[in-house]
Amino acid sequence: MVQEEFYLIIIANFASEKSNKQQTKALARIIAIDYGQKRVGLAVTDPGQIIATPLTTVHSKDIIDFLKDYTAREEVCLFVVGEPKQMNNTASESVKFIDPFVKLLAKTFPQIEIARVDERFTSKMAQQAILEAGKKKKDRQDKSLIDMVSAVIMLQSYLESRNAPGLKMPF
């Protein structure tokens, strides 16, 4: 009888620890990264991973330091990084500088998972969203704003595809 109670306590503790880890992961943020040679657009979810919002745009050379600072302040469970593809679904030219960045990201943050998402058309979609928001011409030409909105679009698409298994992203 005592041995059975002991095993039940161990099982209950294990289940509680597993549940706590899942809850912690669910309360961590997801960061989307629209990596470019000059600028990096960033978007982030709320802790409940429901809403994607613009975070900022940083210079490519500063991205790792920015992410170190951010992850020291906020819990992050996943990086979503754009994967540049051509219309025929092959890798685009920019993969030669994005893949080394992804390797550095994985090495610098081994505890944070990385997901890759197709980023085709996100810049065009971002420009259209900025236009529809009624922004002035000067704002619509701001490449850092376009990069940030592109990251939001990637992150929102990731969230939607994650919540609808079998659903392919529209781009």
Q: Which pair of structure tokens corresponds to residue 5?
A: 């109670």
pLDDT band at residue 26, thresholds of 50, 70 and 90? low
Q: Which pair of structure tokens corresponds to residue 43?
A: 């978007």
Determine, yes or no, domain membership for 171.
no
Q: What is the pLDDT of residues 28-38, one digit of tens each?
A: 999 999 998 89
Determine, yes or no, domain membership for 15.
no
Residue 47 belongs to domain with CATH number: 3.30.420.140
Q: What is the pLDDT of residues 29-62, one digit of tens each?
A: 999 999 988 999 999 999 999 999 999 999 999 9
pLDDT band at residue 150, thresholds of 50, 70 and 90? confident
Q: Is the pLDDT of residue 14 over 60?
A: no
Q: Which residue has the tokens 């219309």?
A: 87
Q: What is d(CA 139, CA 131) in angstroms, rounded to the nearest whole number?
A: 9
Domain with 123 in it:
27-163
Determine, yes or no, domain membership for 82.
yes
Torsion sign (Cα): 81, 69, 123, 131: positive
Number of domain units in the chain: 1
